[in-house]
Structure 1
């Protein structure tokens, strides 16, 4: 009898455990959720569904079974179903390479008169630069931008990973096995049917094929974008890490009618800072889009910074954390030879610190950004604008101020160097760099004056015939390579009387 009573008591308590286990688990989950910063909770909700439902298998489409021998043939087949795609794409900056929000006569953009201090400008080296154009045959400005079949659908959408453009093919892949003298590699024609039938949503590899290799090599330009982001871990980038969220670029660079959010010239990539809570149709291009403007726990001091400090300033402590990025490029030293031949000297990162074709260079890893006020717009000079060569020239610079409510203290890579300018007209010059011997290209004929005359002629700009070299700087906003939260900056990195990261910013009070 006692045993039966004891068993009854045990069963009663077990029943209570079962009855209340649900509420206890819910309470525990709620408690855990309350301990998590709301910005993280919001981001998890905004991105919780990574699986995209695909309703078409392109390998089964009859029109893609035909034998293709060239890219425009594939594009024509694509357009037979995706009838509006080329019309949409023709309106984007990926096609025009010109800022759509600036009067066309000002020609702001890569296909115009915009200048940088890497390979300087596209008009001097069309087929080399336009190997990254999402089209076929952009060898000069006679290119027919209205031809829909010239759109290269495959460079953004093929998923075999085998599709490659020839490095000096003006956007075309190699029509037959061809060796590119610049790197000694052999390029083969694509397996057109295989790549055409593989198409899907763009991945990091599609975007990175061009954007990770801007400036002629891996990580040369941006500092926060290089081949390490093809398959990163979350220590390098918490959003793109394979062991983290494993985001593709288009997860944040959202797209509408082929217009990809994120490109910055005079117009900001985002004109407001709304979150998905406020408007679920916005592009997810800002941190606030997913994390809101108060991402930290209630009452925590970092929430008081978000109206003045960009999230990236604290959460990207260094850039180029795996691969080095170029920090200095002196064109005035180009042209030196050994035994009458061009030569290359490598430095500590295995990267060239001198190259006959390009001059002196230096590289950096784990580079601390420089900081400035930034409202999302970048101003710049073009090859038509007068400059002051008596001091280093800012080719581009962030727009913003502490009194601008849209401005935040933001991180930048600043690339510095020396490049040619016109001593009489006081303008930056565009050299003709890539070409065959006898074409006046600098990399073939080694004559700066002829190269500058030819480049100016191609660009339609003036050249007095007198030139020298001037120091310049060029900025890139740092937005990728977001580190884990335990690697974000501590307060004293900025709030310090000595060695503050913000020591160059003046005119306002900052504790510490």
Structure 2
């Protein structure tokens, strides 16, 4: 009996100790790290066995997945940043692999560039790699440390001349591990597509997003399990971990998020984002056939962009499936299919080179055009890398053309500036009911103050 009492007391003591440590916000394993230092994933696996191997099967490592909702692609092939060709980037991890570009003819200087710069490995074990070396190369701290020195995460050449991506594996960084912060995520996601607020066109701050104003961070909504990251549905966001997140999830707002029954009825046909994300931002046009010289005398594709909350979205029916052609990537859906909702999108248009013979969009290796502005040299290099027949002829005869892409508007959420009745149900409202498939008779009814006169009059009285 005495032994049992001592055992229970010891167990309670350990539990209290663990509770105290967790309550203080200190990640378990601190003493081990302080004593032995941080040795990469093998240190993490003392408490999280198998996590590195599991991470190799995620989108963040593979930059690709099987895609089931996009037309015109092979369902057996994995697609993503690894191999997609589209005009927001025009390169991918394969053709625009991280490398040292040719020296600028003006300054004689070079630099490193590549689409896989944000890959959480060391580049020696690159996108989609597997095995023990890949497991050891995972940069756990770039996502999980609040004291990561991002100055160390830069490419360099080792003694063999191989390009290596540096990592901060310091004890200091390891002692600051925990749930990923907004900064951990936005280091890559905010600057995707060629610079800050270019691709997605949003900033996640208390001034720009209602969730951030509440103190939430990215992973409060995008809650990963075994590093499988839930994502929303976006016509241009193909690769996924097979798990998805929605405002209507029961763990978030549910299917009836409002106290007002009229507003809840709208949720059956209107996406939450339509009212609560009335603006977006970022690049709205790029020209990969003409690159502009930057102050450092290197070149970048000509880009037109707006700041967050400066762009008015367009609205279309969306049922989660995607139309995909060489000149258009966008939502599929209709008023009558019973699955679609009216959803906001940012329209992006990009100009790039097309194969004269096949009409297919061509990709580009950025190394040469970044050095001297020679865009066809970039097309030639990519064609050779992909093993296309007669790459010289393809590059020489390539024809410039435009592709339009619909980007989902899923951030910059507002409650105080959300659209209300008169913003949509008016002759000059934000919704083009004609384009959305409504008849003239329906439009007359939908744009009449009769729909909302009493409700808005009462709301106006309360506010005034």
TM-score normalised over the length of structure 2:
0.73
SS of alignment partner, residue 358 of structure 1 = strand
**1:205-262 deviation per Cα after TM superposition (whole angstroms, max 9, x unaligned):** 11111111101211110013x3xx2xx22x4211111xxx210111111111110100
In the alignment, is residue 155 of structure 1 matched against residue 142 of structure 2? yes
Partners of 1:166 and 1:53 in 2: CA distance: 31
Counterpart of 2:215 in structure 1 is 246
**1:248-305 deviation per Cα after TM superposition (whole angstroms, max 9, x unaligned):** 111111111110100545589998xxxxxxxxxxx75424432221222244x22221
Partners of 1:163 and 1:109 in 2: CA distance: 25
Counterpart of 1:449 in structure 2 is 376
In the alignment, is residue 475 of structure 1 matched against residue 406 of structure 2? yes
**1:85-118 deviation per Cα after TM superposition (whole angstroms, max 9, x unaligned):** 1122122111111123466763411112342333
In the alignment, is residue 401 of structure 1 matched against residue 334 of structure 2? yes
C-alpha distance 79-255 of structure 1, shift in aligned 2 (>3 A): same
SS of alignment partner, residue 62 of structure 1 = helix
SS of alignment partner, residue 376 of structure 2 = helix
Alignment partner of 1:459 out of 386, 392, 414? 386
Alignment partner of 1:315 out of 255, 272, 276? 276
C-alpha distance 444-360 of structure 1, shift in aligned 2 (>3 A): closer
RMSD: 3.3
In the alignment, is residue 60 of structure 1 matched against residue 19 of structure 2? no
Q: How does 1:291-440 map to 2 (within 5 A)?
A: 291-299=253-261, 301-320=262-281, 325-334=282-291, 342-343=293-294, 357-365=299-307, 366-381=310-325, 387=326, 393-394=327-328, 396-434=329-367
2:122–2:138 contact (8 Å) kept in structure 1? yes
Q: CA deviation at 1:326?
A: 1.6
C-alpha distance 200-140 of structure 1, shift in aligned 2 (>3 A): closer
**1:375-432 deviation per Cα after TM superposition (whole angstroms, max 9, x unaligned):** 2344545xxxxx4xxxxx11x2123222333321111111112111111121111111
C-alpha distance 81-296 of structure 1, shift in aligned 2 (>3 A): closer
C-alpha distance 421-197 of structure 1, shift in aligned 2 (>3 A): same
C-alpha distance 61-473 of structure 1, shift in aligned 2 (>3 A): farther
SS of alignment partner, residue 61 of structure 1 = helix
Counterpart of 1:108 in structure 2 is 79
TM-score normalised over the length of structure 1:
0.67
Q: CA deviation at 1:201?
A: 0.9
C-alpha distance 67-356 of structure 1, shift in aligned 2 (>3 A): closer
Counterpart of 1:26 in structure 2 is none
Alignment partner of 1:135 out of 104, 121, 138? 121
Q: Which has the greater radius of gyration?
A: 1
1:126–1:138 contact (8 Å) kept in structure 2? no
Alignment partner of 1:236 out of 204, 208, 212? 208
